[in-house]
């Protein structure tokens, strides 16, 4: 590991993992341009943007360039790209628009509250979740493989719904199962659905846990003020 040295704000912005983060933003924005007109190009751009999410973390650890800015950039990019895709799905599947609104709200609320709760507790990274906060949430954030698989499955499920919303070219050899074309999008959706559902459950757990952490901090601060006030009397 390289010896620590003085850095500037410009240096932080140009750290390797943050450069990867900027490329994710560019790819995500490009995918939006193709989202309604070219599903294949959009899927590739969106997929590469999501895939790079794993590499910025690896670069941060390898080059000792983990930063608060990078962590926020990473989370904001994830939330924005997923929300944009879900917004498109709500237009493609208007019958389910309320569900999509709830999914966006749950995703944003749970991650924002979790990030704020962890940082307000003095934890440097929102991924440092101890086991006393629950086995599932701790495993999700501390095991990089679990985190990657669940997050990837979550995105792929939404991508499957996105691809399925376009006209399908079915193979005469595969036929139909209950009038549903046995397409790539169908298979992808069926395979990733269980982990997508697990991700939504984790979001709920994360939201409840963050609320508890914030309430505990409020209790500690108020009780401390009460004790200090009692001593001065």
Residues recognised as catalytic: 78
Report CA torsion sign: 17, 153, 136, 211: positive
Q: Which residues of 119-130 are buried (b: 16+ CB within 10 A; e: fewer)?
A: eeeeeeebeebe
**By the 8 A CB rule, do 31 and 46 touch?**
yes
Owner of token pair 């962590």: 71
CB 104 within 8 A of CB 88: no
Task: Give the C-alpha separation, 198 to 37, whole Å.
Answer: 31
> Nearest-CA neighbor of 162 among 110, 100, 79?
100
Pair 21, 70: CB distance under 8 Å: yes
Report residue 117 as tokens. 């709760």
């Amino acid at each position: 590991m390289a010896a620590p040295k003085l850095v500037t704000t410009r240096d932080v912005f140009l750290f390797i993992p943050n450069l990867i983060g900027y490329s994710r933003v560019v790819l995500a924005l490009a995918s939006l341009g193709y989202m309604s007109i070219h599903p294949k190009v959009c899927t590739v751009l969106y997929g590469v943007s999501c895939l790079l999410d794993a590499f910025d973390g690896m670069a941060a650890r390898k080059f000792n360039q983990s930063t608060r800015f990078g962590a926020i950039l990473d989370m904001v990019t994830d939330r924005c790209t997923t929300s944009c895709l879900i917004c498109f799905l709500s237009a493609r599947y208007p019958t389910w628009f309320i569900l999509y609104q709830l999914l966006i709200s749950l995703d944003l609320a749970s991650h924002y509250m979790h990030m704020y709760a962890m940082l307000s507790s003095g934890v440097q990274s929102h991924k440092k979740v101890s086991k006393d906060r629950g086995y599932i949430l701790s495993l999700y954030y501390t095991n990089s493989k679990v985190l990657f698989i669940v997050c990837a499955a979550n995105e792929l499920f939404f991508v499957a719904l996105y691809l399925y919303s376009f006209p399908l070219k079915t193979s005469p050899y595969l036929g139909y199962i209950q009038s549903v074309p046995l397409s790539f999008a169908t298979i992808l959706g069926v395979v990733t659905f269980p982990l997508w559902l697990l991700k939504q459950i984790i979001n709920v757990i994360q939201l409840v846990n963050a609320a508890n952490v914030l309430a505990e901090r409020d209790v500690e601060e108020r009780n401390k003020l009460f004790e200090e006030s009692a001593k001065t009397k």
